[in-house]
Amino acid sequence: MAEPTTTVDPVAYLRATAPFATLRRELFDEAVRDVEVVFEPAGKQLVRVGGAPLEHLWVIRKGAVRLERDGQTLQLLEEGETFGYTSLVSGEATLDVVVEEDLVAYRLPGAAFRALLGDASFAGHFAAGLAERLRASLEQSPVATFRADVSGAVEQLVKRPPVWVEETSTVRDAARIMREASISSVLVRGAPAGIVTDRDFRNRVLADDLGPETSLTRIVSRPLRTVTVGTPIYEAWRTLLDAGVHHLPVVRGDEIVGVVTAGDLLKHSASGPVAVLRSVERLPSRESLPGYARKVAEMTAVLLAGGLEASTISGFVARLNDALVHRILRWAEADLGAAPAPWAWIAFGSEGRMEQTLLTDQDNALVYADEGEAAREWYAALAARVNEDLVAAGFPECPGGYMAKRWHGPLSEWTRRFRGWIDAPAPQALLEASIFFDFRRVAGTLGLDPLDAALTEAAGRPVFLRFLAKAALDFRPPPLLLLRLKGTSSVVDLKAHGISPIVFLARCYGLEAGLRARGTLERIDGAQRAGKVDEEVATRVAEAYRYLIGLRLRLQLRRIAAGDPVTNQVALAELTPLERTRLKDALRAVKSWQDAGAFHFKTEF
């Protein structure tokens, strides 16, 4: 609804805002004649996928809007940012747009916007800006340096010629061809040509109760959204996001030479980090270890800027760290000679859960076969060398001493230790169980089934689980922050106040449900599927976890770029009002999670 709610001159504001600032005066003056000021309340849906497209270019003056696809938030747009151009260019609504905070915006009619696209600078701003708005809210910083891997031509991603079917074909015909060719789409001949994908079978066939003899003409998508063979990969990625599709035909002249998928583009956009992974695998000597932490930070920044969630990025980091450990272990074995008996190098803590995004303190141990006990000194030397090399690579020593040079021994000893912690849950035993029960084998050939079996037995030990849960509940959000997130002196420890309370209680649920999963999100999901956690509580806390680790990572990368120390703490004054609101919501979800856990495990005793 149109409503003049601000005294700021819209023309002056737009003139100071990119890309209007670079327009020739006569173009700008002509365009802004019909600009109007509008107000929309929080919660209002401005456009829905598949509905009527937006008819204006919106420039946000105050407030925020949320871009969504399939219920997942892609990006939040705030003051000075624009939206609506996708609808204006494509004539389709490809994203849901919802007002996040009361919105004051300036609207430019579609006709005026299209007229400005004749200006190369103006048009180029929107071509470059779309992907930025769909990326996670990581501010561009010096750590994000990988870019070359997305500048090549999209043609290099084409794996095979396209597969065609006649438009008289049925759903059954297309499905059989796709299965036989191991592909996820077929092109459909016709004027114009179209495409049918595996998603169409789910969303347009199964969901509408159509049968296998349904003609493809009922579900085909036309016309095709295509890119040329010379299109840079990053432009193809933008096109795919803009169109809201998952398959992109590639053309040379009038000929379609192949189809690239969202998976192809995402994999290639991660080839910079993959190149780093390969460089780690080929490290020539220990002298090349310094600087590894910087590589991890750079890789993390690129993936976050590329739109990946922090929970996904941690998997890349784990792979990189695993490759480094493998390399270091090979050096140590080369120095010490062949191992007397099989062994396994294990990681625990965030690295064991594959949830580490930046390098933190070492958490590792060494387990070896019982027949190697007589050669304990060999394994002690192996552990000491690896721990020392990891320090050189940027992993500080664990202040509590939970490292392989102190924690190494035969498998039977480790098995007795695990069972002892479960049988006698004293405070120290609970501390060590909470650390080691997230273990993951990183390297070595020794099987660890006895340790897995010990964890499985914990499901039938309610006393142990009750004590473990009670200890987990010692970490809580600050009560005052649940009600008030204001004040320049207030500080939140994102790990202690938010992330750890989720992780620790998820461990309890995972053990109770007998899950082999170590990851926090997998444990939450598995516990909910096993009926241990209410679905609504599980959904809220999983979203809170994703938000908290994402916020922490963005803040830590900013500090790295600024040369400041990396911590888990954030002053509330650092956050935008929207970030404060989201943090408040996340901490409330943590409280609900803990309240449900306290009741479930009966920790009040």
State pLDDT tens for residues 357-405.
888 899 999 999 999 999 999 999 999 999 999 999 999 999 999 999 9
Q: What are phi and psi of 573, to 5 degrees?
A: -65, -20
Residue 125 pLDDT level (bands cut at 50, 70, 90): low
Domain 154-255, second-level architecture: Roll (3.10)
Map residue 575 onto helix, strand or coil: coil
Instruction: Say if CB 130 and CB 100 are below 8 A apart.
Output: no
pLDDT for residue 605 is more than 50: yes
Q: Residue 269 has what pLDDT?
A: 54
Q: Which residues of the chain form CATH 3.30.460.10?
A: 273-424+438-445
**Comparing C-alpha atoms, which of 345, 245, 222, 330 is closest to residue 281?**
330
Q: Hey, what CATH topology would domain 273-424+438-445 get?
A: Beta Polymerase; domain 2 (3.30.460)
- Segment 217-223 mean pLDDT: 92
Q: Which residues of the chain form CATH 3.10.580.10?
A: 154-255
> Strand pairing partners for 365?
346
Q: Report whether CATH 1.10.357.10 matches the domain 10-135.
A: no
Dist CA 40 CA 105 (whole Å) = 8
pLDDT for residue 135 is more than 90: no
Minimum mean pLDDT range among 355-369, 409-423, 464-478, 578-592: 578-592
Residue 8 pLDDT level (bands cut at 50, 70, 90): low
Q: What is the DSSP string of 197-232?
A: EHHHIIIIIITTT--TT-BGGGT-B-S---EETTSB
Q: Report whether CATH 3.40.50 matches the domain 464-601.
A: no
> Strand pairing partners for 75?
67
Residue 491 pLDDT level (bands cut at 50, 70, 90): confident
Minimum mean pLDDT range among 12-26, 348-362, 402-416: 12-26
Provide CB contacts within 8 A for 425, sequence distance 6+.
433, 463, 464, 467, 468
Q: Which residues of the chain form CATH 2.60.120.10?
A: 10-135
With tokens 């998603």, the residue in question is 199
Q: Which residues of the chain form CATH 1.20.120?
A: 464-601
Q: Copy the structure tokens of residue 243.
A: 């169109």
Instruction: Say if CB 442 and CB 480 are below 8 A apart.
Output: no
Q: Residue 511 has what pLDDT?
A: 96
Dist CA 349 CA 347 (whole Å) = 7
Q: Residue 137 has what pLDDT?
A: 29
Q: Mind listing the pLDDT tens digit for each residue in 266-281?
A: 566 544 454 566 677 7
Q: Residue 238 has what pLDDT?
A: 65
How many C-beta atoms surround the C-beta of residue 439 within 10 A?
A: 26
